[in-house]
Structure 1
Amino acid sequence: MTATLRCLRLLAFGVAAAWVGGSFAAGAPVAIDEPPHFAIERTGTMEQVVYSENVGELQNPVDKPTIEAICGAARANGLTDKQPRFEAGHDRPVATRNFRFSNSRQSANYILRHAYECDRPSTGPSSEVLCGCTYRIRIHRSVHIERLNHGRRETFLFDLDQRTVTRVESTARSRDPRQADAMVKALAPEVIGQDTIAGLPCVVRRQRLADKVVMDRCIVEDESKLADAELQYRTLSEQTPRQDGNGLQSWSRAVRIVPHALVDGGVFNPPVGMSFEGSAR
């Protein structure tokens, strides 16, 4: 599954909602700053939103011993004279951080990914590309903005590194709690526990993605139905164990949730120098 499709699936799966009671009782809205590293242009108009911030890790795709062995064999066979270099980070997971703003009309998800990768374009013979790299941490930025308009849903995927935008259009589904409940239980029918994340109680459900691949998600399931559609059935954490049983392949977890927040409306606009015009699909 591509990163784009995976993100869209998670957005559909984690329909958002405000929690009533405890530290999430209604009160004066909390002002939230725009995410760093995105150079958001302020409008001066404040929007009321639900704000959430998630951190996570992905398995590092760069395996230093394997690359060194391949390049050593390639040099021995005269296929390259290059020697790969590895800066700090080759032994750590890929770190991610997401900043999400949502209300009944629109949402914006700002994504930072600290990837460990080759610092040169992937062109030329494979041995030259693999072995001629300096591997280092590089920060990637992307923005997903979703807007609802007259029964249509438009999702804009901005890649700030490539300076590209993709527009995905679909029919907007109603936020029927019964449909959301049925979808959650169909995708992840097995309940394996409960947790409290960022002050919010959630139910841990297991989704089986393949024969030996599972994903555990902690989902807000407010049986009292006091929560509105902006946090109900929100996924607060997820983790996928490695198939070899050695740790996690990926995980993410909410570290902050502000149900009653105010943010400058610029978070719902395209990044500076980009527009909503893009290739539709």
Structure 2
Amino acid sequence: MTTTQREPVTRVAVLIPTYDERENLPGIVARVRASVPTADVIVLDDGSPDGTGEVADALAAADPHVRVVHRTAKEGLGKAYLAGFAIALEEGYDAAVEMDADGSHLPEQLPSLLAALAEADVVIGARWVRGGEVRNWPAHRKVLSVGANVYTKVLLGMHVNDATAGYRAYRTGALRAMGLEGVESQGYCFQIDLTLRAVRAGLTVVEVPITFVERQVGVSKMGQDIVREALTSVTRWGVEHRLGQLRAVSGRVRDRVPAGERP
């Protein structure tokens, strides 16, 4: 997986989780279809009470490249994406894309993410790299996001600058190598979890600058519980990472000490 010779990406599944996004969904799907006409769009609706599922069904009825997975309960972003990954793996897609339904991820930038898969296993649409941009966020939210990513990068020892980013493209071979069994995290933590799994699996992860645009319609689903989960999990993973490093150093030191001189 880490060699530069990679199979071409031809079959792409764009996964769009939804919960109460009936106003945003038609425009996003239309823009994805215009930006990458060969891609299939899979809407993963968590039983939206506002009728998003019915809107998605109408889109699917009019376009064979669109389908809907009706999930019976609101289980969160992570569970929805895992269900989408399972479909992409089972049906032989070359790549699976994570994309929000609220318009914050610009479908027009999807070709850039897919092009980067020519030399990568995982491509992250990054805000906090040269060329990246965030529109319509207050200063305190930018500070919080940058700080969270710096904390994650330093504590986990990863080279990724925007591990919480949710606009991504994965080769399906990478998803297999990452070992998704047992992933329970949600929101920001889900994205960090998958990034960490990719890095630890020795996969090539690259960041492509994107423009992130805050939603204009609807309400964000990201609550304080999601933020707390991310902070708690990253801290735990970071402690485990540092302890692992210390054990490795200790083992190397013991190897250098003659057996007769060891305590």
Please confirm whether the aligned pair reaches a TM-score higher than 0.5, indicating the same fold: no
Name the TM tier (shorter chain): under 0.3
Between the two structures, name the one with larger relative contact order (CA 8 Å, sep ≥ 6): 1
Name the TM-score, length of structure 2 as normaliser.
0.25
Greater helix proportion: 2
Greater strand proportion: 1
